[in-house]
Chain A
Amino acid sequence: MSYFTQNSLLSFLGYPVSLQTFLPLSAPSLHFTMDWQGQKLAEQIMQIMLLVFAVTAFVAGYVLGSFQMMVLVYAGGVTLTGLITIPNWPFFNRHPLNWLDPSEAEKHPKPQVTVSSKKKGFKRHQLVFYYCR
């Protein structure tokens, strides 16, 4: 699903969609509204749910004596896990990071490379050359 269609779908459904996601070039790299804590939570939920469904499916199949039952329960479990962990639900975004507005970021310019550091780099280069011999 492309970034734009997902965002338009989410805004249609009423979820808060950040403006930054429509400006991929100038905005920070986070395109989706799921924060770091949310990603960790999503991964944990996915692993635990899949393992639980696998064990449940095997036990169900073994007890009922039906291979098909095992596969069906597991397939249902995988689908349910996918529905819970893959889309950007709001409960994955409870600790959002507040990125600076682009106009605010320009007021604090990045530090420039000075001449003295260049000299230092030159010296370091000489040192390296010495060790290589």
Chain B
Amino acid sequence: MHSFGYRLNGLLTFAVTILALMCAITSLSDNFNTPSPSAEIKIMNINWFQKQPQGHDEVSLTMNVSADLQSLFTWNTKQVFIFVAAEYETRKNSLNQVSLWDAIIPAKEHAKFWIHTSNKYRFVDQGNNLRGKKFNLTLHWHVMPKTGKMFADKIVLTGYSLPEEYR
């Protein structure tokens, strides 16, 4: 520590090391947060249900998603990414997951919401297994931090089913 440059280097190195430690502790403090989110999805309408030229089934539906995800936010949260996925079983696959809609929630104030929307992404099956199919709608969320570990979890809502015939 005996010249201007040495002291400057020492200060900056030590400051950055301590900053890294602070970020690690900040991320660890997220574990003390116990979230209690709630969500509800209603299928308002099946708009159409067709078999595509290639032979795959496709559905278009309108749903109403309402949720309260405010308890997921901490001081170390940058944004929460949520998406709704339809999950069902076929003869070929034990689990099929198709993402229908997603959004980014940038702040706690926007985390309590409802939205009336048709599916953002196409609900297409690998094959034609969807007639009369019972499926779950799962709301997944990824809590993205400003620094450190990302937490991901979901709510599974059961009891939805598709019509028996094409429309």
The interface of chain A, by Cβ under 8 A from chain B, is: 1, 6, 30-32, 34, 39-40, 42-43, 46-47, 50-51, 54, 57-58, 61-62, 64-67, 70, 74, 78, 81-82, 85-88
Shortest distance in angstroms between A4's beta carbon and chain B's nearest beta carbon? 13
Q: Complex: how many Å from CA A87 to CA B8?
A: 9
B48 within 8 A of A: no
Cβ–Cβ contact A62 & B75, under 8 A: yes
The interface of chain B, by Cβ under 8 A from chain A, is: 1-4, 7-8, 10-11, 14-15, 18-19, 21-22, 25-26, 29, 75-76, 146-147
Given A39-B1, A43-B1, A65-B75, A70 contacting B11 (CB threshold 8 A): no
Cβ–Cβ contact B8 & A82, under 8 A: yes
Q: Complex: how many Å from CA A46 to CA B7?
A: 9
Cβ–Cβ contact A58 & B7, under 8 A: no
Cβ–Cβ contact A42 & B1, under 8 A: yes
Which residue in chain B gives the minimum CB-CB distance to A32?
A: B3
Shortest distance in angstroms between B102's beta carbon and chain A's nearest beta carbon? 25
B21 CB contacts on chain A under 8 angstroms: 54
Provide the main secondary structure of the chain B interface. Answer: helix
Cβ–Cβ contact B11 & A86, under 8 A: yes
Cβ–Cβ contact B2 & A46, under 8 A: no
Of the candidates A54, A61, A86, the one whose C-beta lies within 8 Å of that of B75 is: A61
Given A1-B4, A61-B75, A67 contacting B26 (CB threshold 8 A): yes
| 29 pairs from A and B in contact (CB 8 Å cutoff) | A1-B4, A30-B2, A31-B3, A32-B3, A32-B4, A39-B2, A40-B1, A42-B1, A42-B7, A50-B11, A50-B18, A54-B19, A54-B21, A54-B22, A57-B22, A58-B26, A61-B26, A62-B29, A64-B75, A65-B75, A66-B75, A67-B26, A67-B76, A78-B11, A81-B11, A81-B15, A82-B8, A85-B7, A88-B4
A74 CB contacts on chain B under 8 angstroms: 19, 22
B3 CB contacts on chain A under 8 angstroms: 31-32
Shortest distance in angstroms between A60's beta carbon and chain B's nearest beta carbon? 11
Which residue in chain B gives the minimum CB-CB distance to A46?
A: B11
B8 CB contacts on chain A under 8 angstroms: 82, 86
Cβ–Cβ contact B11 & A67, under 8 A: no
B22 CB contacts on chain A under 8 angstroms: 54, 57-58, 70, 74
Shortest distance in angstroms between B16's beta carbon and chain A's nearest beta carbon? 9
Which residue in chain A gives the minimum CB-CB distance to B76?
A: A67
Cβ–Cβ contact B15 & A50, under 8 A: yes
